[in-house]
Amino acid sequence: MQHGQSIDDGETCQAQIPRLLDIVLYLCEKEHVEGGMIFQLLEDLTEMSTMQNCKDIFGYIESKQDILGKQELFARGKLVMLRTCNQLLRRLSKANDVVLCGRILMFLAHFFPLSERSAVNIKGVFNTSNETKYEKEAPDGISIDFNFYKTFWGLQEYFCNPPSLTNAPMKWQKFTSSLMDVLNTFEAQPLTDEEGNANDLEEDAATFSIKYLTSSKLMGLELKDPSFRRHVLVQSLILFDYLKAPGKTDKDVPSESMKDEIKSCEEHVKKMLELTPPKGKEFLRKVEHILEREKNWVWWKRDGCPPFEKPPIEKKIGLDGARKRPRWRLGNKELSQLWKWADQNPNALTDPERICTPSISEYWKPLAEDVNGCFRWNRRGVPSQKQQGVLLERTQVCGTPGLGRIFQIYRLWY
């Protein structure tokens, strides 16, 4: 707020608040101030502001959720932010502020991890405060069976509190009797495909209602609505799925006779869902798939809500392997040049002059000369002529030998 400004100038103050919050958020991000200060300021603002101003404040929170979700800020202010959002949800009207309630819940789902225990109904407590009020006395001029009307809407008492049926045999008998009356009425008044197509659920997907009206005058019209029937039948399957859920204590486990009745009623309900147009079989298959996946959710909560995120795998430094033998290059410079030349001139491989295999006569010619005695004598005579001086010197050293001695000396040399 600037100097000289009146505190009553609401519009100017309202424009300055986001700017001041940005300054505090920047200081928290840079660690100039304590990281949880921004969360504390947001909580104080929502407590002292009207609901209209709270919508603007929450819009600011949504725009900064990526920064607020950083680990250095989130770790210090997550509990304060959770408390702020819960206080807002308590102040909002579930009937008139449905969109803002949904925005807050979506923000919490994005801001907190899925395994956050504060956002999980660990004990599976039901909202028993959501009572369905209906007429207790029959009005004048009613055109339907008022007993059936009370029986039908009386089922909501059991749907909102399934644990009350496990240890109360009288309540269970009353519930099954009332449910069979409703199922028999649905079966006695089947819906045709034309009635199912007349109430096209896909075109009405953009519209919704929080609760159906319980006026006895609307009972006849509501029974002809396939969406209305499906709501009641799916509620029954959810109740049966809770009673059959694993992991209960011994006192909460249904008896054997109760299990048989649950199985019989469940098959009847599924049959009615399959016969409810449009696309009854497809709708039933999707509901069964959702309920089957719900069992995993139940087990996860009863195991203490372990985190879904797995720690990163540590990279282990492997030992150095054995060194490979050095590779030797084959050939030499001349051979490499020859191979290179052969690659550049492939016709040289087929040149007839390249064929150098000798004939048999040429191959045996040097061997024949070695075998020939005259040739060997002539070949020995050539060096003897060149070495006559050495022969004479040897002869003089040994004296004047005879002819036999000369031949002996000659054999020593050759």
Domain, as residue range, for 177: 146-198+211-303
Whether residue 185 sits in one domain with residue 71: no
pLDDT at 2: 42
Please say if the pLDDT value at position 403 is more than 50.
no
Query: Distance (Å, rounded) from C-alpha 239 to C-alpha 253?
Result: 14
Q: How confident is the model at residue 3 (pLDDT cuts 50, 70, 90)?
A: very low
Q: How confident is the model at residue 95 (pLDDT cuts 50, 70, 90)?
A: confident
Query: Distance (Å, rounded) from C-alpha 259 to C-alpha 166?
Result: 11
Please say if the pLDDT value at position 315 is more than 70.
yes
Whether residue 265 sits in one domain with residue 152: yes
Q: How confident is the model at residue 39 (pLDDT cuts 50, 70, 90)?
A: very high
CA 19 to chain centre: 39
- Helix ranges restricted to H, 64-134: 65-68, 71-91, 98-111
Whether residue 151 sits in one domain with residue 19: no
Q: How many domains does the chain have?
A: 2
Domain stops at, among 249, 284, 303: 303
Confirm whether 253 is domain-assigned. yes
Whether residue 155 sits in one domain with residue 73: no
Is 254 in contact with 243 (CB distance < 8 Å)? yes
Query: Distance (Å, rounded) from C-alpha 155 to C-alpha 220?
Result: 18
pLDDT at 282: 95
Domain stops at, among 283, 303, 323: 303
- Helix ranges restricted to H, 112-154: 146-154
Confirm whether 74 is domain-assigned. yes
Confirm whether 80 is domain-assigned. yes
Query: Distance (Å, rounded) from C-alpha 372 to C-alpha 356?
Result: 27
Whether residue 153 sits in one domain with residue 239: yes
Q: How confident is the model at residue 376 (pLDDT cuts 50, 70, 90)?
A: low
pLDDT digits (tens, 9 = 90+) for 151-199: 999 999 999 999 899 888 999 999 999 999 999 999 999 998 877 676 6
- Give CA torsion, residues 376, 381, 387, 389, to 10 deg: 150
Q: What is the pTM of this model?
A: 0.61
Q: How many CA atoms, within 13 angstroms, populate the side-chain half-sphere of residue 264?
A: 10
Q: How confident is the model at residue 389 (pLDDT cuts 50, 70, 90)?
A: low
Kindly report which listed range (23-37, 70-84, 382-396) carries the lowest average pLDDT score: 382-396
The mean pLDDT of 252-259, rounded to a whole number, is 86
pLDDT digits (tens, 9 = 90+) for 320-351: 667 777 776 776 777 777 777 766 666 766 66
Q: Which two tokens stand for residue 280?
A: 């009854």
Distance between the two ends of the chain, CA-based, in angstroms? Answer: 129
Whether residue 185 sits in one domain with residue 75: no
**Which has more pLDDT, 157 or 5?**
157
Residue 152, burial from CB neighbour count under 10 angstroms (0-12, 13-18, 19+): buried
The mean pLDDT of 362-372, rounded to a whole number, is 75
Q: Which two tokens stand for residue 7?
A: 């505190």
- Give CA torsion, residues 188, 193, 194, 198, to 10 deg: 100
Is 354 in contact with 348 (CB distance < 8 Å)? yes
The mean pLDDT of 257-274, rounded to a whole number, is 95
pLDDT at 200: 58
Confirm whether 227 is domain-assigned. yes
Domain stops at, among 65, 84, 111: 111
Helix, strand or coil, per DSSP, at residue 293 = helix
Whether residue 185 sits in one domain with residue 90: no
Whether residue 242 sits in one domain with residue 156: yes
Whether residue 286 sits in one domain with residue 177: yes
Whether residue 160 sits in one domain with residue 105: no
CA 202 to chain centre: 29
Considering 234-248, 302-316, 319-333, the range whose residues carry the highest mean pLDDT is 234-248
Is 267 in contact with 284 (CB distance < 8 Å)? no
Q: How confident is the model at residue 210 (pLDDT cuts 50, 70, 90)?
A: low
**Which has more pLDDT, 14 or 398?**
14
Whether residue 285 sits in one domain with residue 150: yes
Confirm whether 34 is domain-assigned. yes
Q: Is the dihedral of CA 156, 161, 163, 165 positive or negative?
A: negative
pLDDT at 101: 93
* E-only strand ranges, 198-297: none
Q: Which two tokens stand for residue 186?
A: 């649905």
Whether residue 156 sits in one domain with residue 69: no
